[in-house]
């Protein structure tokens, strides 16, 4: 579904991504693991067109999307959940969802607020509350729900477990497993190996803007030296 090849990306004169390549198959959950500053967020932003790659290719369902503006990439079926969440704090939960509404592609069941409230019962209870009144974990759920209202076929999540309470982390993992069971394809950047392990089929490890390891979660579990070299803080 998604293929990134030999991607270079810069912030000004500083090179962040160096020949980065990865693939995500339809229906897979793939984790991009690495320490802070390794290039995880830049990878997702480059896929979404928020950072313009200087070299390399990004193909979604066989179509080259590198260089397209973000709104066109979104319309093709990619959804992006930023680390910063960026909810509209003055708007209610329901109003935040309506902001993200887009028609579903033919043959795909559309996401509606009612369907999302079944998936996120915490939000159902607070549908009339302002986004700024929610806890950090609830805001993360709202960000994911708002992105789903755009009916993406591939969801990019940037550090979804960061900064939220452990109980809500477990609830979020359960929700993402439900989405996986419904056939949604996920690419998530994470530092939390436990969280990624509970969801992912495969993992890439990024360090210094380049992929240093690729394998299944089981293969990564069997390689403690890889975890020590690239993931232990």
Query: pTM here?
Result: 0.93
Q: Residue 54's closest CA among 18, 1, 2?
A: 18
Give the pLDDT of residue 92: 96
| Residue numbers of the domain that contains 52 | 2-230
> What was the pLDDT predicted at 35?
93
Q: Is 60 left (phi over 0), alpha (psi -120 to 50) or beta?
A: beta
The confidence score (pLDDT) of residue 99 equals 92
Block residue for tokens 């802070």: 36
In the block, residue with structure tokens 């066989």: 62
| Domains of the chain: total | 1
Per residue in 129-185, pLDDT (tens digit) is 999 999 988 999 999 999 999 999 999 999 998 888 888 888 889 999 999 999 999
Q: Using DSSP, how many helices (H) and how many strands (E) does the chain show?
A: 10, 10
The confidence score (pLDDT) of residue 85 equals: 85
Is residue 201 a contact partner of residue 217, using CB atoms and an 8 Å limit?
yes
Q: What is the model's pLDDT at position 90?
A: 95
Quote the CA–CA distance of 130 and 147 in Å, as a whole number.
18
Residue spans of the chain under pLDDT 50: none
As a whole number of Å, the CA-based R_g of the chain is: 17
Tokens of 100: 């993200």
In angstroms, the CA 195 to CA 33 distance is: 11
Q: Which of 87, 59, 93 is nearest to 73 (CA)?
A: 59
Q: Give the C-alpha distances (Å, rounded to integers) separating 74 from 104, 173, 225.
A: 12, 24, 38
Quote the CA–CA distance of 114 and 135 in Å, as a whole number. 21
Name the E strands within the chain.
2-11, 14-24, 29-33, 55-60, 63-64, 78-81, 154-158, 185-190, 202-207, 210-216
Decide: helix, strand or coil at residue 34: coil
CATH number of the domain bearing residue 89: 3.40.50.300
């Amino acid at each position: 579904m998604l293929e990134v090849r030999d991607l270079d990306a810069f912030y000004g004169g500083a090179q962040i991504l160096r020949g980065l390549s990865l693939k995500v198959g339809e229906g897979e959950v793939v984790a991009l693991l690495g320490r802070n500053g390794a290039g995880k967020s830049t990878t997702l932003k480059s896929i979404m067109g928020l950072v313009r790659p200087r070299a390399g290719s990004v193909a979604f369902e066989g179509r080259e999307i590198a260089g397209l503006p973000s709104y066109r990439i979104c319309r093709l079926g990619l959804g992006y959940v930023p680390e910063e969440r960026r909810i509209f704090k003055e708007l209610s939960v329901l109003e935040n969802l309506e902001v993200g509404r887009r028609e579903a592609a033919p043959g795909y069941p559309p996401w509606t607020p009612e369907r999302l409230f079944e998936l996120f019962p915490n939000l159902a209870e607070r549908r009339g509350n302002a986004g700024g009144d929610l806890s950090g974990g609830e805001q993360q759920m709202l960000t994911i729900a708002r992105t789903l209202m755009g009916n993406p076929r591939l969801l990019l999540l940037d550090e979804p477990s960061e900064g939220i309470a452990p109980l809500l982390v477990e609830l979020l993992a359960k929700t993402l497993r439900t989405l996986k069971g419904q056939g949604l394809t996920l690419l998530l950047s994470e530092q939390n190996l436990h969280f990624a392990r509970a969801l992912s089929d495969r993992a890439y490890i990024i360090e210094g803007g380049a992929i240093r390891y690729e394998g299944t979660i089981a293969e990564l579990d069997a390689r403690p030296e890889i975890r020590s070299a690239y993931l232990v803080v």
